Chains A and B, each alone.
Chain A
Amino acid sequence: MKITFWGVRGSISSPGPNTVRYGGNTTCIEVRTDDNDLIILDGGTGIFPLSQALLKELPVTANIFNTHSHWDHIQGLPFFVPIFIPGNTIRLYGSFDPVSGAGPERIMQIQMQYSYFPVREVEMKSRIEYLTVMPNEPVQVGSATITPVLLNHPVITLGYRIDSGGKSIFFTGDHEPHSNIYDPGEEGYDEYQSLIEQQYQSIVASISGVDVLIADSAYTRDEYPAKKGWGHGTFDSCIELAQAAGAKLLYCTHHEPTRGDDALEEALAEALARRSGANPEVRLAREGETVDV
């Protein structure tokens, strides 16, 4: 498989001189299987430059897996040019949202309303399919098996494991490690602790042995206490998760929009300096970088 990062920024796109090296577009990751099946993880603003690249190989079948419906993961979808061109097939996979009672179709319905976008949903001339996926129920795309895994964020969020040709990738989307909502000694603490430990083990098992883990490391360890409950991990929590799952290579992503390139490198270096052990290799996800898996 081959991974290309088209957007690695979290929350809001952040172009400018301070983000030139790692990029300012929000989340979008292209995965190609050895058979050239196209899997796209999230449609943040990074999906726009990807769509420009795809114009050279029309018609395309794009399998877009949405981790969750927050803006930085969907905002580029109406600008994904192949949706307007007849002959292309776009499949948007995502979770069922228990609050709205809708699946991934709502992501387009909401964004392509008259007030927010000039083109109406019915004017998308490609073939569009919306597929609601369930946690732990794998779906097949060509040679790839994609398994959704329920993670922890202020909206329903699925991480995706992609297995193809004996190689594997896991992308967390946005994820904050679970924490106990009770104080130690309080009634409910032990029960809750046991639930979150079970859930942690289940997540680790889903990621187990992947060749590449791409994980949400929005915050540093020092920033985290003020951001607890916002739904994001830290460099340290990502390293810990990668070690627990035995991932061979970790890409840290969802870079904080206010963190410039130098600060980003420093933040990772600090986390690496305090980790135990030398594995896995850890890199910062960088817009435009392609890696062979």
Chain B
Amino acid sequence: MAEISMDPTKTLSDAVEKMPAFPKSVQRVLEISRDLNCKPKDLVQVIEKDPVMTIKLLRILNSAYYSFPNPITSVNQSVVYLGINTVKNMALSFATAGVLPAQNDAGFDMQRYLMHSLTTASLARMLCNQFGNGALDPTDCHLAGLLHDFGKVVFAQFMPAQFKKALALSEEQSLPLHEAERQTIGADHSIVGAMLVEKWQFPKLLSETIRHHHGDPPTANCVQSYLFVADQISKKLSLGNSGNPRVEELPPELAKRLGGDLDAVIEGLGDLAPMVAEAESFCKGGGEGEP
């Protein structure tokens, strides 16, 4: 059994810096940066759909070079602070790192992972808007949804053999993937994801949410509760796949607060088709429709 080293975060953090982004965002960033009259919001919408680009951008903003009074959690904030042209050129430099391959040695499907992350992000934001009573920032819910499983990408990219074993073990023994990861890697994706965002000085709220996203879901009005529900909805509706198909039911108190069980919550969200279609079009990969 391979053990994760005592201090894996620096190695992994450095590795993520060189990690390519997802095909569609690379393609769109290249298109947008060729167009002098591109709309800033188009660029924002591309970056905030890509976990790799989002991480690379926010880790620089939250670094010691800029001592912002509060952690930066959104692409919009990045544009306000650094200006659209700087963010555009940063995105372009991320794009030049190439494209994440759809397949990897771990056999982990990046396209379906992205679909799961994106829909979880959108659903968490929608839930926050519907039930948050203005007490929470929907942007935090989006970011938590987008990044909650990022540890899996890191495993797939940098520990493919061990992660492949975890995927197989989870499948063979109907074991939750994070438990299989602990056996084959020595740490699960929630711990590694949390350690990385902590190292990059993202807000503590985010690292704690990622760290505990496989723990007992809290019932209170908090980011983690919406991440949990969004995660279950994404899995229940088979919107992508992050390697863990098991759908958990809502604990009774949470169901009571949200006005019903998972089906009732899904019903209450209204028509999800436009959100799903947008996510699908982003996840399909780059190159299509290119002249």
Q: Which residues of A contact B (CB under 8 A)?
A: 96, 98-99, 132, 134-137, 150, 152-157, 178, 181-182, 186, 188, 191-192, 195-196, 199, 229, 231
Judge whether A181 and B41 touch: CB under 8 Å.
Answer: yes
**Chain B minimum-CB-distance residue to A155:** B86
Stretch of B63-71, B147-155, B200-208 on the interface side: B63-71
**Inter-chain contact A137/B83, CB cutoff 8 Å:** no
Residues of B58-80 contacting chain A, CB below 8 A: 60-61, 64-69, 76-77, 79-80
Residues of A within 8 A of B77 (CB): 195
Which chain B residue lies CB-closest to A176?
A: B83
Whether the pair B41, A154 counts as a contact (CB closer than 8 A) is no
A263 to B76, CA, bound (A): 38
B202-257 contacts to A (CB < 8 Å):
none
* Chain B residues close to A by CB (< 8 Å): 39-41, 44, 60-61, 64-69, 76-77, 79-86, 89-90, 93, 139
Which residues on the B side are within 8 Å of A192 (C-beta)? Answer: 76, 80
* Bound CA–CA A157/B83 (angstroms): 9
B125 shortest CB reach to chain A, Å: 10
Determine the chain B residues whose CB is within 8 A of the CB of A150 once the complex forms.
Answer: 66, 81-82
**Interface majority SS (helix, strand, loop, mixed), chain A:** loop
Main secondary structure of the interface of B (DSSP, over half): helix
List, sorted by A's number, 18 A–B pairs whose CB atoms are closer than 8 Å.
Answer: A98-B60, A98-B61, A99-B86, A99-B89, A134-B66, A135-B66, A137-B67, A153-B83, A155-B85, A156-B83, A157-B83, A181-B39, A181-B79, A186-B41, A188-B44, A192-B80, A229-B84, A231-B83
Measured between beta carbons, the chain A residues less than 8 angstroms from B83 are 152-157, 231
- The residues of B that contact A98 with a CB separation of less than 8 Å are 60-61, 65, 82, 86, 90
- In Å, the complex CA distance between A249 and B84 comes to 31
Known contacts A188-B41, A195-B76, A135 near B84 by CB under 8 Å = no
Residue in B closest to A182 when the chains form the complex, CB atoms: B41
Q: Are B80 and A178 in contact (CB under 8 A)?
A: yes
Cα-based distance from A150 to B78 in the complex (angstroms)? 12
